[in-house]
Amino acid sequence: MHTIWSRINNISALLSSCMMGLFAAIALSSLAQQFFQAPLDPSSVSITSLKVAPGKGKQSKVDHALVQFELDANLTPLFNWNTKQLFVYLDAEYTNSKGVKNSVVIWDRIVRSKSSAKFHVEARQKYAFRDVTGFRDSAATYTLRYNLMPHVGALVYGVAGSTNNSIPFPPLAKNNV
């Protein structure tokens, strides 16, 4: 009972129990805080320019959409003691004429501090928006979503804002873009 092995055993068992209790308390308290929080102010998402460029064979076999957008968001209420970072992404969702439901992320950003959680962005897309299943004659809704990654615990997903109406894809641009 009083050997060094049993003492090390007892101390390490107590340490691991306390650490598990602490992690559980942090994770559950931050989830509870989000549950009882007032909902976020909706962010504004607007598309300033949308063009469809033709696929040029060797480089890009399919048509591409070229999007420029403007975002205005305030995600500061999401930062609490258990927030490690926010992964913010802008996606385009559309159901094409063949019934295929598509979602494509066109822009993302990692927000690591409360001060950078309030931002105004005017940019063009980061990732290629390829016409894999056909977006002729369909319209897309652009939504700004976030993924809250905690220091400890469960990941939380949410919607920050959206162009609530869908924006149709224009016909193919005649000249090379």
Q: Is 49 exposed, middle or buried (0-12, 13-18, 19+ CB in 10 A)?
A: exposed
The string of DSSP letters for 32-82 reads HHHHTSPPPPPBEEEEEEEEEEPP-SSS-SS-EEEEEEEEEEE-GGG--TT
CB count in 10 Å sphere of residue 47: 15
Q: Does 11 bind other proteins (CB under 8 A)?
A: no
- Provide the minimum distance between the beta carbon of 133 and other proteins in the complex, in angstroms, as a whole number: 6
CA dist 92 and 145 (Å) reads 11
Give the chain's end-to-end CA distance (angstroms, integer). 79
Q: With respect to other proteins, which residue has the nearer C-beta, 105 or 167?
A: 105
- Provide the minimum distance between the beta carbon of 169 and other proteins in the complex, in angstroms, as a whole number: 16
- Provide the minimum distance between the beta carbon of 155 and other proteins in the complex, in angstroms, as a whole number: 6
Q: With respect to other proteins, which residue has the nearer C-beta, 101 or 174?
A: 101
- Residue carrying the six token digits 């909706």: 42
- Provide the minimum distance between the beta carbon of 92 and other proteins in the complex, in angstroms, as a whole number: 10
Of 38-46, 66-74, 93-101, 168-176, the segment contacting other proteins by CB under 8 A is 93-101
- From the list 137, 151, 168, 173, which residue makes contact with other proteins (rule: CB under 8 A)? 151
Q: Does 131 bind other proteins (CB under 8 A)?
A: no
Q: Does 8 bind other proteins (CB under 8 A)?
A: no
Q: Does 2 bind other proteins (CB under 8 A)?
A: no
